[in-house]
Structure 1
Amino acid sequence: MKKITFILLIFFVLTSCISKKSAISKAINTTLASSFYKNQFTGILVIDAKTKDTIYNQDSHKYFIPASNTKIFTLFAALKTLPKKAPAIRYINIKDTLYFEGTGDPSFLHPYLKDSTALNFLKNQSNLAFVSGNFQDEKYGAGWAWDDYQWYYSPERNALPINGNVVVSYKNTELVVSPPYFKDSVIEILHKDNRNEFSNIFYYPPQSKDTLETPFITSLQTSTSILEQALGKKISTVVTMPIGNKETLYGIETDTLYKRMMHESDNFIAEQLLFMAASELKDTLNSNLIRTHILENELQDLAQQPRWVDGSGLSRYNLFTPQNMVNVLDRLYVMVSEKRLYTIFPAGGLSGTLKNRFAGDKQPYIYAKSGSLSNNYCLSGYLLTKSGKTLIFSFMNNHFRESLSDERLRLEQMLHTLRDNY
């Protein structure tokens, strides 16, 4: 009798699961069959986080431009490589001179992070020599739009960022400029651009009350001059570090960097995290080094090999599949506690780029990373159902001509279907 009861219980459970999946598939299929999706490309994969059962799958093996969903891979690489506190600089003290090099740490005098660990350390040294030769990469990522040079989301990359590699200008009775080094380079004039394309000449509208964040052109001379002014002392420059055992100065908590990268979709922090991760492997700061290492050593079993070219997703050269995204999200779910993971990811209706969308009834039901470029929108992360299940999902939408708000609205309807029916 007990055996028959057990068999019947299993039968009802399986029937219920099949029924739920069938209802979900029917609802999502109906949405995707509408004329709205006729001329765009959509890939979807949804799995149960515990059982790994596939709840819904459409073209999840196909490649899509991920936009800022790329940051999910960057987060994985950083969590696999970086310690709890960010390596701020590496240095060797020889006789009376401290030789130091950057690790790519983006927090040094960052306008929002405001970490002063390295600044205070360097202030206490007598003679300083900045070692510049460890950066072996380009200022911009492959496939970045050339005309983004003046916009806040596209700062140049380097070994020792200062102030997020942007000039911050705002009015407070008079014009305030940070770093102060650029005070005389900001011209109050109505201009179609924020900065001259080929020089560090910036424009601020006289009647504006906005805060402008404009990337500056980086160079060894510019970085050294800004640092000299901040420290109040001269700094010599050399190309290579003297022979010896380098020490590391640790600064800000890396989770602080991860949260800003994911919540604000901060492209600069994403790019610099890859350099920091590379610095943990070798002396060379090169983002391809860490991307290759992660793909070959940690993600070698992905069903489809992604094309991963930058840390932020600014490049349209990036190609990932929904299966790629769900695979890495699943690994993160196993690696990191739910509490910590859901703090790092934006929460629907509550924080970051999802603050004004995908809200739950009383509490968030979505913890996910969005990604948008013109005509592309992706959302990948974790969904908490009303029945208490956790789903891992990736919705990737490319090449649509409809409005982004309409795209999000239909995606939200599909997410509600998953939340309410599984």
Structure 2
Amino acid sequence: MQFTRNLLFTLLGLLLLQGCASSKKSRVIKKNIGLRLNSSFFENSFTGVILFDPLTKDTIFQHNSNKYFTPASNTKIFTLYASLKLLPDSIPSLKYLVKNDTIYAEGTGDPSLLHSSYNDSSSIKFLKQYKNIAFHFNNYEEEKYGPGWAWEDYDLYFSPERNSFPIYGNVVTIFKNDSLHVIPSYFRNKVGELKQPKNRKAFNNSFFFEPSREDTLEVPFIIDSLHTKELLEEVLQKKVSVINRMPEGGKKTLYSISSDSLYKRMMHQSDNFIAEQLLVLGSSTLSDTLTSSKSIEHILENELLNLKQQPRWVDGSGLSRYNLFTPESILDILNQLYSNVPKERLYSIFPSGGDEGTMKDWYNGIHGPYIYAKSGSLGNNYCLSGYLLTNSGKTLIFSFMNNHFRKPTTEVKIRMQSIFEHIRDTY
């Protein structure tokens, strides 16, 4: 009995000492971050930070964490969350039904079909089996661009149009070695070897490629049912009829690539097109009509109803400046992901410091990555939210949002990295 009592007191003492040490570390970190954020560097911009220990449930530091910020591509964290809730392990590629010798099909928003990063042809191989193909292209019921997107970006690779049946990533890929190469070849006669201020005309599919250009150019093409039909016919090598609505009957679903492969590209390369199409895909599991807003509304009303600060969430990519999120709401999503997704999978989906993509040149540790996080950049804005691994073996969750600065983004990143390194080495 005496031995048991002594052991209990010893354990309690160790827990108290550990708690005191942890509390001391928290105070040191809080003081250090506070001093840095109060420096003249941050005085003319708007900064919000929250740092959380998911094991102890303690908020170690917070500053403007309940204020709304323009999140840029931090929006993709919410898109990832929605996708994990709405989509199965493999991507729904087509919905279809067969009557007699005809297959009737419609798209789900799957962005992988003949995309340069995946070159998936699951739908093509499947459709080729049928003598007659009838396609419904009009099940997407939103604008081709998201609310608040910059109109002048129409010719840039990161701003393809949204639709129900993407093909080739909804971009024309142009490059030159011995001769000019255009993918898809359907647009070959629409490419002029000229130097122009824009890569494409604003209202038609006429493209421009500077003859001396050495790198590959990707230019979004204008979507319409005729172009999609003819592109599909080109790869199928057979005629496709267009129908105004699907016939009555129970539809089946064809699946393509693994969902994680889309999530990783969205997060690592900050791929806006895939982010947008993931929300369209999500709506295909809720309804026969496709809209990204349907996915957003469903997640906010069913999964995130109790968020302390409800976001203004308007697109999947974060291209829109209409999006408004607080560091606390982003941290809430990150914490849910941390609690429900196996760590190996979660950390493979998030970009890691010093690795490829948007984090390649930043936040790299000596013995390996110590940050797994999503960055977000727009003019005068830079945000980073994710997971930080400390030298003591702790995992912390953070959201660090910077809006309205006039200094170079590199200088903002340098100061953020210094803060993260202090946290890593101290906690």
Give TM class, smaller chain: over 0.9
1:50 & 1:61 partners in 2: Cα distance?
22
Determine whether 1:85 maps to 2:85. Answer: no
Question: 1:129-208 counterparts in 2 under 5 A?
Answer: 129-208=134-213
Give the partner amino acid of 1:45. I
2:146 & 2:397 partners in 1: Cα distance?
29
Give the partner amino acid of 2:152. D
User: Which of 53, 56, 76 is the aligned partner of 1:51?
Assistant: 56
Q: CA RMSD in A?
A: 1.0
2:286 & 2:340 partners in 1: Cα distance?
21
TM-score, normalising length: structure 1: 0.98
The DSSP-based 3-state class of the residue aligned with 1:281 is coil
For residues 175-227 of structure 1, the C-alpha deviation after alignment (integer angstroms, 9 at most, x for no partner) is: 00001100000100111111011110000001111100000000011111111
1:122 & 1:282 partners in 2: Cα distance?
23
2:75 is matched with: 70
Determine whether 1:269 maps to 2:274. Answer: yes
The DSSP-based 3-state class of the residue aligned with 1:252 is strand
For residues 94-116 of structure 1, the C-alpha deviation after alignment (integer angstroms, 9 at most, x for no partner) is: 11111100000000110111111
Unaligned runs of 5+ in 2: 1-5
Give the partner amino acid of 1:81. L
Q: Which aligned runs of 4 or more in structure 1 are off by greater than 3 angstroms?
A: 1-8
The DSSP-based 3-state class of the residue aligned with 2:17 is helix
2:42 is matched with: 37
Structure 1 residue 243 displacement after superposition: 0.2
Give the partner amino acid of 1:196. K
Give the partner amino acid of 2:271. D
Determine whether 1:357 maps to 2:359. Answer: no
1:308 is matched with: 313
TM-score, normalising length: structure 2: 0.97
- Percent identical pairs in the alignment equals 54
Unaligned runs of 5+ in 1: none
2:171 & 2:318 partners in 1: Cα distance?
19
Give the partner amino acid of 1:363. G
The DSSP-based 3-state class of the residue aligned with 1:304 is coil
Structure 1 residue 59 displacement after superposition: 0.9
Structure 1 residue 8 displacement after superposition: 3.3
1:368 is matched with: 373
2:335 & 2:310 partners in 1: Cα distance?
17
For residues 232-286 of structure 1, the C-alpha deviation after alignment (integer angstroms, 9 at most, x for no partner) is: 1111101211000001110000100000000000000000000111000111101
2:3 is matched with: none
1:382 is matched with: 387
1:94 is matched with: 99
User: Which of 343, 347, 353 is the aligned partner of 2:348?
Assistant: 343
Structure 1 residue 172 displacement after superposition: 2.4
2:350 & 2:19 partners in 1: Cα distance?
33
1:70 & 1:143 partners in 2: Cα distance?
14
1:4 & 1:130 partners in 2: Cα distance?
74
2:286 & 2:55 partners in 1: Cα distance?
33
The number of equivalent residue pairs is: 422
Give the partner amino acid of 1:371. G
1:384 & 1:135 partners in 2: Cα distance?
42
1:218 is matched with: 223
